[in-house]
Amino acid sequence: MKSLKRFYMRLLNFSTNRRGEERLREEMESYLAAQTEENIRAGMAPEEARRQARLKFGAVEAIREKYHAEEGLPFLEHLIQDVRYALRQLRKSPAFTTASLLTLALGIGATTAVFSAIDTVLFHPLPYRDPSQLMFVTESAPKLGGGEFGVSAQEYLDYARLNHVFSQVAAYMTDACNLTGAGRPLHVNEAQISTTALPLLGVTPILGRNFTAQEGRYGSDHVVLLSHELWQTHYGADPHIIGRTIHLNETPYTVVGVMPASFRFPGDSEPISERPSLWLPLTFAPDLIDPHHRVRSFGYKFIGRLKPGVTAPQAQQDMTRIADDFMRQYSDTYVGNIRVVPHAYPFAAHSVAKTRPLLILLAAAVFCVLLIACANVANLLLARSTARSQEMALRAAIGASRIRIVRQCLVESGLLGILGSIGGVLLAALFLIGLKRFGPASLPRLQDVSVHPVALVFAVALALLTSVFFGFAPAWQLSRVAPESSLRAAHQVGADHGSQHLQSIIAAAQVALAVALLISGGLLLRSFARLLDSSYGFNPHNAFIVRTVFDESRYPDIAKHLVVEQQILSRLSHLPGVTAVAEATHLPLSNSRDIGIHIEHAPANDYHWAGNSFVTPSYFRTMGIPLLQGRDFGPADTRSAPPVAIVSQSFAREYFPVHSAIGRHFDWGKGSNTIIGVAADVHISSLTDDPPPMVYLDTTYPDNHPNETAFILRSKLDPAVLLPAIRQQIHSVDKDLPVYDATTLEQLVSDSVAQRRFTIVLLGGFGVIALVLAAIGIFGVISYLVAQRTREFGVRMALGADRSNIARLVLRRGANIALAGCLCGLALSVLASHLLRASLYHTGPFDPATLCLVPLLLFIVVLIAAWLPALRAASIDPMQALRSE
């Protein structure tokens, strides 16, 4: 209790700033008076008496401090004193302070932002219950070629029924539909999900309820869940939306619930424009359950929640077992090339598979930046503390305890670290805002990214550690040395070699990191340029696209569809400024579809995938795709004529390598199709994937016609002018046709490389930051070198050295650092480019241009950075230098 009371008293004294000055003075006066009297009585002269009394009292300052130590909180007071002094010191050297603070803030801010983003995007991409337990299952058919295409309806039912590894499963399929009935028809993305989906994911609607089991049956499934966004924008967040009827493709549906804003299943990693706005119950029409149609239509995907204790490989094994079983059971259906292989992936990883390499690259880059920033601060602090060694020695000489000196240095560098960290936090928030605004749409949950505490703590800790260590270590060393030798050190002519060595090493390391970063960025840039330069297969300039849907309810048969299509094409072609018009159901770099074809005279059941699009005769001309052989579709190829097709170059090369493909046949749809032309290859899924074999069919083809389609116009007009005109023309033919997704071919190309572009921009930014920081580091080191060796240079000049000699000496030092750094950097970059190999397009890691340019650039920058100090060295007045001590 006593100590607590004392502490409380101390706190009170401290906060009210009460000082016992007054009291001590009075006590001292009365003591001196009494002692002086006694001395006089003992026989001393009055002055001597007073003096002796004073001596007997003791050292006044020391006693005053001890006195004060009893009444306040000395620790806190000293700390405040140190902080005030540190702030003053920092203010006195604005260049040093600004440089350090900026460096720290940049390093911490960038690192925190990137790591926060990575944490959310890579490790928590899904807002579901226990997302690590969710597996995603799809199938591929290796012999047919192509990629993964989901499962068929009956296969899903088998997997659901026969598996041992999932506690729940749910299937889904995405599609689009027209929302009609209120104003302009709205084209929305929808997803059909099993009634078990929401419970599986652990999500409940914020309004209303999930689908019931009854609603999962075909025919009773006209219910719908709305997305939060749709509910807000289209229905004004109407609280009575439950039970209302809305019309999808002219069919009435009842709204039974509204989903939370974060729910985007299954489009978690899709850009915003692809996310579903509605959810419908997934049901299987009777003809899909017909055993004869077992492999007719794939495209269903499903997810399963692992039972506790079951691992992903076990799930894969189970799926394979089920597939083997049903392929054996239905061996007459799974014949020839039609053998499916199931794949089970963790759902979370699947969502981010595309963006993982990008983010890891960014993480490595930003970590380099952080290291460079810390190195900069370290160097700055080292230089500074050595410059103040005299001051420290002086302090020790007049009585400062070692702890006091060291503590003061600690406070100073700690303060720097803390201020830098505050700046870093602000910058991190800023960077994240920028990231959310300009980041590529394909990063899942980018909008949910916020500053992550662990990343922040890590970056701040690293920065604080660096600043404290490099500010503290030299002080510690200094405080151990007896003051006299430090004070005498000023008479030395040479420099402190130990510290300089360390500084040079740190500067060289900075240069190395900057080189590695810049080379990586340069390689990616070259690769990107090559990608954009490569031929796409079509002409992307001045091409405009709009999409529409001929939904089945209003266009039940193809005749009406064709009539309207012809009218629209005709009207569009007559628009002023439009030079060509065409229609296609699937466009390159946009959407794609595969069909299974059988080449004539091939063994039975030898099917293969090929890309497919239904196009009008003017398509190839409008898109700028050259026809290499044969002819385009024409009016003769109407429904009554035998069906014809145009194939792509790679199709012809693969299936008809020896002779021309013209006149040959393949089976699809209702029968045989004749090949009448071969078109040049076009990149379909992305610019980096090889062009797939394509089959183009005329829009008059009598079978299996998709309802969604796109109109392509070639025109030099401004899209803002063109779009309303297009809309008007289309609506003049049919006012209920939705017109959506208006864009240009150039935009499609740009979107397909958006992620790459983003990577390069960021990496480039980091590279520039690294370069600037390295330059500042070199500047600091060389300046310090010049300052330390001023006397030496003075001596040299007095002994006959030329000014240019001195300058050269300094520059040579800078060049040595740069050389060492560049060599290490080159070695580092070889390592880095191995990691980058996957992202480099037709660019090897030893691209000569990049490997030569970057070190050259850095060399030049370093020389520039060393130039000013060299000049300063050369302009030293030898007399001044020799005289100054």
Cβ 76 to other proteins shortest distance, Å: 17
User: Binding other proteins by CB under 8 A: which of 48, 70, 175, 287?
Assistant: 70
2 binds other proteins (CB under 8 A): yes
Contact between residue 778 and residue 509 where contact means Cβ atoms under 8 Å apart: no
23 binds other proteins (CB under 8 A): yes
Cβ 42 to other proteins shortest distance, Å: 13
If 0-12 CB within 10 Å is exposed, 13-18 middle and 19+ buried, where does residue 715 land? buried
Nearer to other proteins, 59 or 360 (CB): 59
Nearer to other proteins, 30 or 875 (CB): 30
Cα separation, 140 vs 532, whole angstroms: 31
Q: Per-residue contact track with other proteins, 515 to 554, x per CB under 8 A?
A: ----------------------------------------
Nearer to other proteins, 9 or 641 (CB): 9
User: Binding other proteins by CB under 8 A: which of 24, 327, 335, 857?
Assistant: 24
Nearer to other proteins, 24 or 599 (CB): 24
Cβ 394 to other proteins shortest distance, Å: 26
Nearer to other proteins, 13 or 232 (CB): 13
- The closest of 338, 301, 335 to 160, measured between CA atoms, is 301
Cβ 17 to other proteins shortest distance, Å: 17
Distance, C-alpha 48 to centroid of its chain: 82
Contact between residue 116 and residue 453 where contact means Cβ atoms under 8 Å apart: no
Q: Which residues pair with 644 in a beta bridge?
A: 674
12 binds other proteins (CB under 8 A): no
Q: What is the rounded end-to-end Cα distance, in angstroms, of the chain? A: 57
**What six digits make up the tokens of 528?**
């990107």
9 binds other proteins (CB under 8 A): yes
Nearer to other proteins, 6 or 164 (CB): 6
Q: Per-residue contact track with other proteins, 479 to 498, x per CB under 8 A?
A: --------------------
Compute CA distances 296 → 324, 336, 399, 669, whole Å: 19, 15, 93, 11
- The closest of 393, 401, 387 to 484, measured between CA atoms, is 393
Q: Per-residue contact track with other proteins, 304 to 333, x per CB under 8 A?
A: ------------------------------
User: Binding other proteins by CB under 8 A: which of 14, 40, 44, 71?
Assistant: 71
Instruction: Considering only residues 787 through 846, tell me which ones interact with other proteins, judged by CB under 8 A.
Output: none
Cβ 869 to other proteins shortest distance, Å: 52
Cβ 28 to other proteins shortest distance, Å: 7
Distance, C-alpha 485 to centroid of its chain: 54
Cβ 26 to other proteins shortest distance, Å: 7
Q: Quick one: the chain helix, strand, coil %, rounded to 5? A: 55, 15, 30
**What six digits make up the tokens of 42?**
């003992």
Cβ 19 to other proteins shortest distance, Å: 12
Nearer to other proteins, 71 or 847 (CB): 71
Cα separation, 141 vs 236, whole angstroms: 46
Q: Would you mind telling me the total number of residues written for the chain in this entry?
A: 885
If 0-12 CB within 10 Å is exposed, 13-18 middle and 19+ buried, where does residue 255 land? buried
Q: How many CA atoms lie within 13 A of 354 on its CB side?
A: 16
Cβ 34 to other proteins shortest distance, Å: 4
Nearer to other proteins, 32 or 186 (CB): 32
18 binds other proteins (CB under 8 A): no
Q: How do strand 223-226 and strand 186-193 relate by DSSP bridges?
A: unpaired
User: Binding other proteins by CB under 8 A: which of 11, 21, 27, 488?
Assistant: 27
Q: Per-residue contact track with other proteins, 29 to 68, x per CB under 8 A?
A: -xx-xxx-x------------------xxxxx--x--xx-
Nearer to other proteins, 57 or 476 (CB): 57
Q: Angle 2-16/60-71 helices, nearest 10 degrees?
A: 110
**What six digits make up the tokens of 861?**
């920058």
Contact between residue 714 and residue 582 where contact means Cβ atoms under 8 Å apart: no
Q: Which residues pair with 543 in a beta bridge?
A: 714
Q: Which helix (H) or strand (E) holds 667?
A: strand 665-668
864 binds other proteins (CB under 8 A): no
Q: Which span sits near other proteins by CB under 8 A: 1-9, 95-103, 627-635, 752-760? A: 1-9
Q: Which helix (H) or strand (E) holds 668?
A: strand 665-668
Contact between residue 568 and residue 713 where contact means Cβ atoms under 8 Å apart: no
Cα separation, 260 vs 589, whole angstroms: 32
Q: Which span sits near other proteins by CB under 8 A: 3-11, 263-271, 349-357, 852-860? A: 3-11
Please report, as ranges, the residues that interact with other proteins according to CB under 8 A.
2, 5-6, 9, 20, 23-24, 26-28, 30-31, 33-35, 37, 56-60, 63, 66-67, 69-71
